[in-house]
């Protein structure tokens, strides 16, 4: 599997149930969201724009994704908002297409353009690793089956504050599961 196979399998709309562990406080918080993922081919104008934003040759990108989300957490205050969208581009390392740069328009932990790393591990899970100015995040996504995706994340803030999350994400739109090698046609969907 390569990284675009993973995102083609992720295309669609997902219901995400999350448990976030606030480690310094030894407390857990429940939440949920609806996530939409659209896989973008390398020539998509958004992929080209993200590459240019980061000063990377767009010809090196293999594709990317457009992700939107809307959710809520148990401890939310009235003015808290867990919704947004982002576009990112994937630029594999020349010697290993299973890992490379993840060019983001907007980061996971900080709302700024950022370059992270991706890697497809030996168990076909996708790792996303991002270092920000004030924190770092590591996420791992994997499929239990074509319609159930699992995700873990750890956010470490400088100064010691950390959270760890586990999400179970079920596909909302019924779809026909395809093997990664068969999923080579462009996918247009609304969901992550």
Write the CATH number for 47. 2.40.128.20
| Residues in a beta bridge with 164 | 21, 154
Whether residue 74 is contained in a domain is answered as yes
Long-range pairs of 139-146 with CB within 8 A, sequence gap ≥ 24: 139/108, 141/6, 141/10, 143/9, 145/177, 146/9, 146/171, 146/175, 146/177
Q: Which secondary-structure segment (H or E) carries 70?
A: strand 63-73
* Contact (CB, 8 A) for 137 and 152: no
Domain count, the chain: 1
Q: How confident is the prediction along the chain (192 residues), in pLDDT tens digits per residue?
A: 899 999 999 999 999 999 999 988 889 999 999 999 999 999 999 999 999 999 999 999 999 999 999 987 877 777 777 788 889 999 999 889 899 999 988 665 556 788 999 999 999 999 999 988 888 999 999 999 999 999 999 999 887 789 999 999 999 965 555 444 333 322 323 233
- Nearest partner of 63 among 185, 162, 192, 175, judged by Cα: 185
Q: For residue 114, is it within any domain? A: yes
How far is Cα 88 from Cα 107, in angstroms, rounded to an integer?
Answer: 9
In DSSP terms, which residues pair with 36 in a beta bridge? 13, 68
Region of residue 94 (left: phi > 0; alpha: psi -120 to 50; beta: else): alpha
Q: What does pTM read for this prediction?
A: 0.82
Three-state DSSP class for residue 176: coil
Residue written as token pair 């770092």:
136
Task: Kindly report the number of other CB atoms within 10 A of residue 18's CB atom.
Answer: 21
Q: Which of 189, 188, 187, 191 is nearest to 5 (CA)?
A: 187
188 in any annotated domain: no
Instruction: Give a yes or no: residue 60 inside a domain.
Output: yes
Task: State the residue range of the domain holding 157.
Answer: 3-8+20-181
Token pair, residue 38, equals 């659209």
């Amino acid at each position: 599997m390569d990284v675009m196979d993973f995102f083609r399998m992720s295309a669609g709309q997902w219901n995400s149930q999350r448990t976030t562990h606030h480690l310094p406080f030894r407390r857990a918080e429940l939440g949920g969201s609806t996530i939409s993922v659209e896989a973008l081919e390398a020539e998509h104008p958004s992929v080209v724009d993200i590459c240019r934003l980061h000063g990377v040759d767009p010809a090196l990108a293999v594709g990317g994704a457009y992700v939107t989300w809307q959710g809520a957490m148990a401890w939310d205050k009235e003015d808290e908002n867990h919704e947004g969208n982002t576009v990112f581009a994937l630029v594999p390392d020349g010697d290993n297409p299973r890992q490379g740069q993840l060019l983001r328009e907007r980061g996971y932990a900080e709302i700024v353009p950022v370059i992270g790393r991706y890697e497809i591990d030996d168990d076909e899970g996708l790792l996303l690793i991002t270092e920000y100015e004030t924190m770092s995040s590591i996420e791992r996504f994997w499929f239990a089956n074509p319609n159930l995706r699992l995700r873990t994340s750890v956010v470490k803030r400088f100064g010691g504050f950390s959270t760890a999350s586990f999400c179970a994400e079920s596909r909302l739109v019924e779809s026909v599961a395809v093997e990664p090698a068969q999923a080579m046609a462009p996918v247009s969907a609304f969901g992550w």
